[in-house]
Amino acid sequence: MNSKKLGPLIISILIPIALGMFASLLTKNTVTIYSQLIKPPLNPPAFIFPIVWTILYILMGISSYLIYSSNSPLKTRALNIYGAQLIFNFFWSIIFFGFNMYLLAFIWLVVLILLIIWMIVIFYRISPIAAYLQIPYLLWCLFAAYLNFMVYYLNR
């Protein structure tokens, strides 16, 4: 891969990682509150979350790069949907961890999941590989919706 392509790939990967890190920094002081909540069955240990999210952000970045580097007339629309879901992803952490608004966070997460599905559909029209790279993200967000709803339900 030449440097003309490597730069946009690196930037594409760094964008979701940077947003995730920024959201984490904004909510890092709320971990104590979360640790005191009643958690649902299947709640993973805390160390799993940053590992999984880093992998997902890398896959998201590679996927978005594949769309960015395409010549598809759908490229701009697809990247706008990608950007919208990134914004929803970023604010979910703040709503859930920062404001402890678990029901609103769950509703927000459902909208995020719908955006991810829409993104996967449009990505598939441009690059099936880009769409497939988003499947783990969708599955993790579905699992997160279970965790989010159960935290809301168990801690009302």
Query: How confident is the model over 33-66, as pLDDT tens digits?
Result: 888 999 999 999 989 999 999 999 999 999 999 9
* pLDDT exceeds cutoff 80 at 1: no
In angstroms, the first-to-last Cα distance of the chain is: 52
In a domain, 31, yes or no: no
Within 10 angstroms of residue 130's Cβ, the number of other Cβ atoms is 27
- The amino acid at residue 118 is W
Q: Where are the beta strands (DSSP E) in the chain?
A: none
In a domain, 37, yes or no: no
Domain assignment of residue 19, given as a range: 3-23+44-154
At residue 28, the pLDDT reads 84
In a domain, 30, yes or no: no
Total domains in the fold of the chain? 1
In a domain, 115, yes or no: yes
Instruction: Specify the higher pLDDT residue, 142 or 31.
Output: 142
In a domain, 32, yes or no: no
Q: pTM here?
A: 0.95
In a domain, 136, yes or no: yes
In a domain, 81, yes or no: yes
In a domain, 34, yes or no: no
For the chain, the residue count is: 156
